[in-house]
Structure 1
Amino acid sequence: MPEPSHTLKRRGRLLRVGAALVVLLAVAGYLVVQYVTGGHGPGCKVVSGKNDGEAYEFTPEQAVNAATIAVVGTDRGMPERAVTIALATSLQESGLRNIQHGDRDSLGLFQQRPSQGWGKPQQILDPTYAAGVFYEHLAKVPDYQKLPLTVAAQRVQRSGFPEAYAKHEPDAALLAAALTGHAPATLTCQGRPDTTTVRAAGPEAVRAALVRDFGRDVLQPAGAEVSRKKHASTPSPTPTPTAEPASGTRTVTVPVAAGKSPAKGRTAGQRGWQVAHWAVANATALHIERVSFGGREWTAGNTDSRWRAAGSQETGGVAKAAVRIVTGQ
């Protein structure tokens, strides 16, 4: 039998080298994704409340930041359109990640620059502050709600690529509708606990995070209002929860009342769904296992991206007036 020709041998070597390169590129791509997403796959999904098939998948890290941006906006009485503009801007500037680097001295969710008067680096790296100062500038743009999103965003950001914001508008609109409470039961996450970093978890951590984002009255019953924390002036302080849990309980109950919402015209239902979606968005970081509101319930580990009918214990009058958050610790 004749020996293989040199051409065939060379071709075989090239095929082996090519296959090895494909494997290396695949591994490199995986590592890049792990770096960019913080080790998490998409994990979260938001769907349209209009049943038109529109959906957007994103990571738990992005979910936490998006929820904070939305809460800061509604706390300031900003409309859903403003939240959409803010979310689209952050998607373009940082991928909704609180990054500590960027072009020149740009930092954080919105790539704001200390040298341009946006604040000190430690302030800009506080998502609450960064979102607040973005809305502060947006509110000064005349008729921003009537402008194309890319124009409104550009008048705040002064980006070198002003048209880039437009491509994020559909995804930002879905997120804004869910995270302001206007589209009930549309945001879900797998809710697998984050084991890559050590974070506080359990009911006390949930209470502290609620106070940090919503203000100190979030855990107060109706009629027991306290002064609200204002956003954007200083970095968020470490909050002290305003309500103590019952001994041994893993459940955090958040009262919902239209009067407690800072934005005029918002209903108790919108307020409740904002809190409920906030809890789901923070499920990975805070080890939240179950969230219920308005007769619907989300459970961690449920991968079909749906809110289900709540059990009988969640369908009474208390459940309709409160969001119930059950933690894993």
Structure 2
Amino acid sequence: MAVAFGLVLALLAAYLVVHRIIGRPSEGCTVRAADGSGALSLNLEQGRNASTVAAVAQSRGLPDRAVTIALATAMQESRLENITHGDRDSLGLFQQRPSQGWGTVRQVQDPVYATGRFFDGLVKVPGYTRLPLTVAAQRVQRSGHPQAYAKHEADAATLAAALLGREGGVFSCVVDGDDTAGHPGGGALKAAVAEEFGGAGAAGVARG
């Protein structure tokens, strides 16, 4: 899987920058559209998971609309966090249920696998790029509240454009402090992103 992300690295390396700054700033990631509008704040886990969604889509040659649909879905299902509990046995970014054939518990809690399974379903939806986002997402998710996806569409589109380098969008993260158990600092985050995007230096860490 890491080899497949090699092509993605070239597309995203210029847009994903992780800064480590002296003075303990607020950690997290910021997304801005080309005109400076549409500012969106994410924590580091959300930022990494959003990047994973974009990487999986690009490795499969999927259109930008697929990234927007997947991001909006994950925003609603898990707030872009890899949840370990949910409704019944729903787990991971997309609240996929092992009991419903989505995969094992371990698999659905792997963001790369979970995203791939979502896209497996999405590409089977005829004309999904032309459908309303709520309809396309619902064809995959079978949610009890399909209209809830709609409220995330604008943010998801801004995030997708920034991650994919469209229209000058910017996605940047600030890391505060050193690596600690359960809380990755600059080194761990850089290594994680590099692994997902092909093993090379997908993120730079500016050390002050």
TM-score band by shorter chain is 0.7 to 0.9
**2-side partners of 1:125 and 1:98: how far apart?**
6
**2-side partners of 1:98 and 1:180: how far apart?**
22
5 Å-filtered alignment, 1:129-208, equals 129-184=113-168, 186-193=170-177, 195=179, 197=181, 206=190
Which protein has greater RCO, CA pairs closer than 8 Å, 6+ apart? Answer: 2
**2-side partners of 1:150 and 1:107: how far apart?**
21
Give the match for residue 66 of structure 1: 50
Give the match for residue 108 of structure 2: 124
Residues 205 and 47 (structure 1 numbering): CA distance in 2 closer, same or farther, change over 3 Å?
closer
What amino acid does structure 2 have at the position aligned with 1:57?
S
Residue 47 in structure 1 maps to residue 32 in structure 2: yes
Residues 194 and 202 (structure 1 numbering): CA distance in 2 closer, same or farther, change over 3 Å?
closer
**2-side partners of 1:203 and 1:188: how far apart?**
15
5 Å-filtered alignment, 1:27-38, equals none
Cα deviation, residue 183, structure 1 = 3.9
Cα deviation, residue 178, structure 1 = 1.0
Residue 107 in structure 1 maps to residue 23 in structure 2: no
Paired residue secondary structure (2:102)? coil
**1-side partners of 2:101 and 2:26: how far apart?**
35
Residue 289 in structure 1 maps to residue 170 in structure 2: no
Matched-pair contact (CA < 8 Å) for 1:42–1:58: no
Greater gyration radius: 1
Residue 84 in structure 1 maps to residue 80 in structure 2: no
Matched-pair contact (CA < 8 Å) for 2:177–2:185: no
TM-score (norm 2): 0.78
Cα deviation, residue 41, structure 1 = 6.2
Uncovered stretches (5+) of structure 1, i.e. residues with no partner = 1-39, 220-251, 253-274, 280-287, 291-327
Cα deviation, residue 57, structure 1 = 1.2
Uncovered stretches (5+) of structure 2, i.e. residues with no partner = 1-24
Q: Percent identity?
A: 54
Residue 213 in structure 1 maps to residue 196 in structure 2: yes
TM-score (norm 1): 0.51
Give the match for residue 15 of structure 2: none
**2-side partners of 1:55 and 1:120: how far apart?**
36
**1-side partners of 2:133 and 2:126: how far apart?**
13
**1-side partners of 2:182 and 2:134: how far apart?**
38
What amino acid does structure 2 have at the position aligned with 1:43?
G
What amino acid does structure 1 have at the position aligned with 2:32?
V
**2-side partners of 1:162 and 1:202: how far apart?**
37
Cα RMSD (Å) of the superposition?
Answer: 2.5
Paired residue secondary structure (1:88)? helix
Q: Count matched residues.
A: 183
Cα deviation, residue 61, structure 1 = 1.2
Residues 42 and 160 (structure 1 numbering): CA distance in 2 closer, same or farther, change over 3 Å?
farther
What amino acid does structure 2 have at the position aligned with 1:44?
C
Paired residue secondary structure (1:190)? strand
What amino acid does structure 1 have at the position aligned with 2:205?
E
**2-side partners of 1:193 and 1:136: how far apart?**
38
